[in-house]
């Protein structure tokens, strides 16, 4: 199952050369990931074993948020757009147990 649309807030802060991309204000995804800039338009993850909060959207609709271990993530700028993407597997409990979760947040800068 997938969802699109809605509104949230992507806040990117820089401290000592490290970027933190925090996404909030949505009922489906929230949390933050750490990156380091690799070019003027891309950043690579800096921290292993990070998690994001993601709602399972199964046949019964959205459930409570689960902590999803992030296996891969990217942060890029493309013109006037900022894209935060990550992939992970849902935890072993609930309607979406073990499902691969792929999230991309597209924001106008």
Tell me what pLDDT residue 62 has: 66
Burial class (CB in 10 A: 0-12, 13-18, 19+), 91: middle
Structurally, the chain folds into a number of domains equal to 1
> Do the domain assignments include residue 3?
no
pTM of the shown model: 0.87
Domain coverage including residue 53:
9-108
Dist. CA 101–CA 103, nearest whole Å: 7
Tell me what pLDDT residue 65 has: 87
Tell me what pLDDT residue 95 has: 77
Confidence of residue 4 (pLDDT cuts 50, 70, 90): low
> Do the domain assignments include residue 92?
yes
- Give tens-digit pLDDT for 14-31: 999 899 999 998 888 999
> Do the domain assignments include residue 4?
no
Tell me what pLDDT residue 97 has: 87
Q: What is the CA radius of gyration of the chain?
A: 14
């Amino acid at each position: 199952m997938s969802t699109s649309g809605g509104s949230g807030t992507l806040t990117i802060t820089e401290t000592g050369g490290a970027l933190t991309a925090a996404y909030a204000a949505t009922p489906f995804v929230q949390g933050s990931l750490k990156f380091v800039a690799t070019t003027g338009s891309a950043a690579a993850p800096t921290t292993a074993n990070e998690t994001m909060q993601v709602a399972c959207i199964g046949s019964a609709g959205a459930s409570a948020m689960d902590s999803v271990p992030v296996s891969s993530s990217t942060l890029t700028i493309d013109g006037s757009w900022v894209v935060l993407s990550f992939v992970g597997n849902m935890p072993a409990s609930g309607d979406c147990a073990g499902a691969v979760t792929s999230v991309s947040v597209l924001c106008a800068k």
